[in-house]
Amino acid sequence: MKDLTQTSETNGGTGHLLHSRAAAAGDVGLSHLTQMMADFASARDWEKFHSPRNLLLALVGEVGELSEIFQWKGEVPRGLPDWSVEEKEHLGEELSDVLLYLVRLADICDVNLGEAVLGKLKKNAVKYPIERCKGSSNKYTVYKESEIERNSENHEV
């Protein structure tokens, strides 16, 4: 990942996109996961269950399970220093379940998630210029007040 860290981010956070679209060796890729999920479903004859809205609701179910892990804890510090190994494994599993349904949903909707996410990162870099956003949690609408977006997916990342 050295190439990543060497890339300057000061030009808007899209520096990586210019010369580093390929995942590094050992990195787990979205297309790879997509294919694994497709094979998994196919081998079990589960394709008939994997309609877009079925998968979306399954995703919502997993987000619910992820939320349950955090629900009675109050705010928790980064890195979760006080969590047991079992708790962190459980968390890893719930995060994975969300990811797997997300990847599968994209595939079933004929969306190339890898392309989409790189495009979204690029768009976010334009939407939230470093020099204007620094240290603020305001929506980008505060920075570009005269612009009206067609949809409301305008929260910073």
Burial (Cβ within 10 Å: 0-12, 13-18, ≥19) of residue 2:
exposed
State the Cα–Cα distance between residues 95 and 118, nearest whole angstrom: 21
Residue 116 is encoded by which pair of tokens?
């989409």
The residue length of the chain stands at: 157
Q: Is 144 in the site for its own copies (CB under 8 A)?
A: no
- Binding residues with its own copies: total (CB under 8 A): 116
Per-residue binding string, its own copies, 113-132, x by CB under 8 A, is xxxxxxxxx-xxx--x-x--
For residue 58, the Cα-to-chain-centroid distance in whole angstroms is 17
42-101 binders of its own copies (CB under 8 A): 42-46, 48-54, 56-68, 70-80, 88, 90-101
In this structure, how many other beta carbons lie within 10 angstroms of the beta carbon of residue 146? 5
Angle among Cα 73, 77, 78 to the nearest 5 degrees reads 125
Residue 152 interacts with its own copies (CB under 8 A): yes or no:
yes
Q: Which of residues 1-40 bind its own copies (CB under 8 A)?
A: 1, 4-5, 7, 9-17, 20-33, 35-37, 39-40
Q: Does 143 bind its own copies (CB under 8 A)?
A: no
Nearest-approach distance from CB 33 to its own copies, in angstroms: 7
Least distance in angstroms from the C-beta of 142 to its own copies: 11
